[in-house]
Amino acid sequence: MKPARKVTVELPEELLKKAQLASGAGITQTIRTGLQLVAASLAYARLRQLRGNVRFSRTAEELKADR
């Protein structure tokens, strides 16, 4: 397992409840999921910048046929 860092944070109770309701998980997993989404947002932004600029060597039909 990777080393973890223990932190103490103050969160609005209502925000935490809403996040837990949306995730269906406990406090720790809900916060981890939220941090993963924030970290991934940069990658998503970079991918959106590539939209329409990438040419693929195979068509969508060819990719579907490989399933």
User: In this predicted model, what pLDDT tens digit does every residue of 5-60 receive, in sequence order?
Assistant: 999 999 999 999 999 999 999 999 999 999 999 999 998 898 888 888 878 788 88
Q: What is the pTM of this model?
A: 0.65
pLDDT (tens digit, 9 = 90+) per residue, 36-45? 999 999 988 9
Q: Cα(29)–Cα(44) distance, rounded to whole angstroms?
A: 22
Tell me if 14 sits within 8 A of 22, measured CB to CB.
no
Count of other CB atoms within 10 angstroms of residue 15: 10
